[in-house]
Structure 1
Amino acid sequence: MSSRKHQLHVITTGKQELPQLKELFEGCPTELIDVLHIREKQRGAREVAEWYLGLEPYFPLSSIYINDRLDAALAVGAPGVQLGYTSLSVRASRGLLPSGVRIGCSVHSREEAAQAVEEGPDYVLFGHIFASGSKPGLEPRGLDALEAIVQACPLPVIAIGGMEPERVEEVAATGCAGIAVLSSILLHDRPAEQIVRFREALDRTHYIPRRRFP
């Protein structure tokens, strides 16, 4: 895993096909991304595994995590998984996965974060922070809620929802360990430039994560 101060996670949108993403990443500085998450809820285990194997050559210096589908993660030997509300529990997943596989847990409140921490994930992903096209009609939780989670949680916290390069500084000020981005990179007209802008903003900030990734 990268020794960078803040992590940049990129999550697939569920709106693109594998050939589109291969073409997109062909021209992108993927080494600036710490983790790519394959989050394709509408696809079965076989297809998710195919996505992992298809995208792996484009990320020689980054990790690829699989969202929810432990069967696909086991099949391809993914180094990490991201669990949601309807996924298996962290504890059950830990019992199935090989030692060393990182487990992230998506949470939406301090109560959910506290419950998740008891089960022993490696980090939590909290959001959505700002208004987000992937969460239409849902009130964003905001920076104050993010900071409260960061202060209460003994694990690294990744912020998600409505992330833009110009917002990185105020997000980093909460003490979070990084950000996760979907459409602002993968549906952008110039994704390669966006990756650079996000990475530069994260590296430029003087704020230090309250809990860093080991």
Structure 2
Amino acid sequence: MELHTLSTGTLTKASFLQMSERIAPYADAIHVREPAWMAEDTRRIGNDWTFQASLIINDKTPGARESGGALHLPEQATAHSRAVGRSVHSLEAALRCEEEGLSYLFAGPVYPPLSKETKATLGIRQFELICRSVRTPVIAIGGVEPHRIKALKEAGASGVAVIGAVFLSEDPARAACELRRELDA
């Protein structure tokens, strides 16, 4: 199962790179989602990227579409040739995205997120329905913690994506390592 980590939306380029270096040994992909960055920071991040985890740039980050890197799209964004993934929040949205040829879909929030307040969650049953209804690998996002990984695996998750569980942790490397252990168990 894959581990995707997402930045918090409050990091500088330097702090993002510093934290990424610590968590890259445990993550399959590290997403930069920094709406306050300058487009130049986004374009340069790929040049500074030397870590084994893949770098994916969220479309909400200024300069994302001009960066030349892999792109993650929000549910309502227009398609793009460099898009490797998209966020979805319902079965209907997942089915609409099925024909885009994406490498993965983020489905969620499955549980209440650690990084933001929201009342709407998919829940494990709706998440499982999405996993069983599409051919595209589905990655769980929203409230993912180590003790929930077994249930997500049983529901059909191809991986998990986290913001708060790693980037907001006191020890991001240890948190990523713990998630990796649970995913590999």
TM-score of the two chains, using structure 1 as the length reference: 0.78
Q: 2:122 aligns with which of 136, 141, 144?
A: 141
In structure 2, do the counterparts of structure 1 residues 151 and 86 end up closer, same or farther at CA, with 3 Å as the change threshold? closer
State the distance in 2 between where 1:150 and 1:112 align.
12
Work out the CA distance in 2 between the residues paired with 1:188 and 1:122.
28
Output the amino acid matched with 1:50: R
Residues 1:172 and 2:153 aligned together: yes
Note the alpha carbon deviations across 1:127-153, whole angstroms, 9 max, x for none.
Answer: 001111434132221111110000001
Give unmatched runs, 5+ long, in structure 1: 1-5, 205-214
Q: Which of 75, 85, 92 is residue 85 of structure 1 equivalent to?
A: 75
* Aligned match for 1:46, one of 40, 44, 48: 40
State how 1:68-147 maps to structure 2 within 5 Å: 68=59, 72-73=63-64, 75-78=66-69, 80-89=70-79, 93-94=80-81, 97=82, 103-147=84-128
Separation (CA, whole Å) in 2 of partners of 1:180 and 1:8: 6
Distance 1:155 1:128 in 2: 18
Partner residue of 1:181? Answer: 162
Structure 1 vs Structure 2: percent identity of aligned residues? 30
| Distance of aligned partners of 1:121 and 1:29 in 2 relative to their CA distance in 1, 3 Å threshold | closer
Q: How many residues align?
A: 185
After TM superposition, give the deviation of residue 39 of structure 1 in Å.
1.0
Instruction: Find the aligned partners of 1:150 and 1:190 in 2 and give their Cα distance.
Output: 31
Indicate conservation of the 8 Å contact 1:53/1:76, yes or no: no
Cα deviation code 1:153-174 (max 9, x no counterpart): 1110011001111211111111
Q: More displaced, 63-72 or 149-158?
A: 63-72
TM-score, length-normalised on structure 2? 0.89
Q: Which amino acid aligns with 1:87?
A: A
Check the 8 A contact 2:37/2:62 in 1, yes or no: no
Show the counterpart of 2:140.
Answer: 159
Pick one of 19, 23, 26 that aligns with 2:18.
Answer: 23
Partner of 1:210: none
| Structure 1 residue 43, shift from structure 2 partner | 2.8
Equivalent-residue separation in structure 2 for 1:36 and 1:133 (angstroms): 18
Gaps of 5+ in 2: none
Matched residue SS, 1:162: coil
1:12 paired residue number: 7
